[in-house]
Amino acid sequence: MLNVIVDGQPVQVKKGSTILQACEKLGIEVPTLCYLKHLTPEGACRICAVEVKGVKNLQFSCAALSSEGMEVTTINERIAAFRRIVIELLLANHDADCFSCSAVGRCELYKLAMDYGVERSRFKRTKKARPKDESSEFFNYDPAKCILCRRCVRTCNEIQSNRTLSLRDRGVRTSVSLPFGKVFSDSNCVSCGNCVSACPTGALTTKASKHYRIWEVTRTRTTCPYCGVGCQMDLLVKDGKVVGVEPADGEANPGILCVKGKFAYRFIGHPDRLKTPLIRKDGVLEPATWDETLNYVADGIKRIKEESGPDAIAGFASARATNED
């Protein structure tokens, strides 16, 4: 174990732990944009900069490793001024149509700008405008709102292992891109939506998100019904209807979902969805109660056993089967 001091508070962390992990262990909040718990640290946004005693330059806490006897300061005027400059630089190339943006209320860049009192950027835009990609059936990509945090790229590559997204070009021309400059609908994208869930701004948003604002919904934690993996997710509910789904950090799913869990929730309100069990009577399926249905099944199994013996009964079980199967 390593002994580290953060803002005057001692803490012990395992060897190989980052400064940010030491801060988290103490409950000290350090702002981040490119950092996500299950992704390899990138140090791309620079927002998480902290001071380390005896080190001249600010250190990026998400990537810098802790060492024995290290003394860390997470906030002072120097650090705050640096973070404000970083926020201004990000805003310089970020379309500021916040009130019409689908990410309003959950945009992490907007929150940081408010926290650090940054109302506008003094820097000129350096990026050229790129066209939006609205080809996906489920989500949109707006390059003008991308801050190059690489969270989407790392999620696609490291967790989803699909390797659809990558960085293209260098310097001010750098952008998140698909192979050979294709659009999402013409790529190997599986529409899992995990890049959308990882995005801290409005660069990647679901098409459904334009119909609600985050403060209008309530969250209900539940288990995805599509298979037996047991992925945890939050249903976003507005006016009694599910309008969206966000992955939760569960034992079976590290903050991710598949395309079914993320986008196939609309079956809930589909007019063809069965609302009650059905029992076939005289060749016609008729609605029944659960008690009637379970008794019907039990009587049927009992009858088969009496008429043909227990070997005539087979069971079907699978982690991918629904409860009804």
CA 304, CA 322: separation in Å to the nearest integer? Answer: 24
- 287-309 confidence digits (pLDDT tens): 999 999 999 999 999 999 999 99
Q: Is the pLDDT of residue 71 over 80?
A: yes
Q: Is the pLDDT of residue 325 over 60?
A: no
CA 108, CA 198: separation in Å to the nearest integer? Answer: 11
Residue 300 near residue 312, CB atoms below 8 Å:
no
Per-residue pLDDT, 270:
86
Q: What 3-state DSSP class applies to 124?
A: coil
Q: Place 229 in a pLDDT band, splitting at 50, 70 and 90.
A: confident
Q: What 3-state DSSP class applies to 292?
A: helix
Question: Nearest-CA neighbor of 128 among 169, 156, 161?
Answer: 169
Residue 192 near residue 256, CB atoms below 8 Å:
yes
- 126-180 confidence digits (pLDDT tens): 878 889 999 999 999 999 999 999 999 999 999 999 999 999 888 888 889 998 8
Q: Count CB atoms within 10 A of the CB of residue 125.
A: 14
Above pLDDT 90, what percent of the chain?
79
Partners of 2 in the β-ladder: 13
Q: Place 323 in a pLDDT band, splitting at 50, 70 and 90.
A: low
CA torsion angle for 198, 203, 204, 207 (degrees, to 10)? 140
Element (H, E) at 279: strand 278-281
Question: Nearest-CA neighbor of 72 among 144, 145, 21?
Answer: 21
What is the average pLDDT across 215-240? 93
Partners of 6 in the β-ladder: 9, 72
DSSP summary character for residue 29:
-
Above pLDDT 70, what percent of the chain?
98
Element (H, E) at 103: none
State the pairing for strand pair 59-60/218-223: unpaired
pTM of the model: 0.85
Q: What 3-state DSSP class applies to 205?
A: strand
Q: Specify the amino acid at residue 231.
A: C
- 19-29 confidence digits (pLDDT tens): 999 999 999 99
Q: Is the pLDDT of residue 319 over 80?
A: no
**How many residues comprise the chain?**
325
- As a whole number, the mean pLDDT across the chain is 93
Q: For residue 159, give every residue at least 6 positions away whose Cβ sits within 8 Å of its Cβ, in sequence order, or none.
A: 38, 39, 194, 254, 256
- 259-277 confidence digits (pLDDT tens): 999 999 988 888 888 889 9
Per-residue pLDDT, 99:
85
Per-residue pLDDT, 127:
79
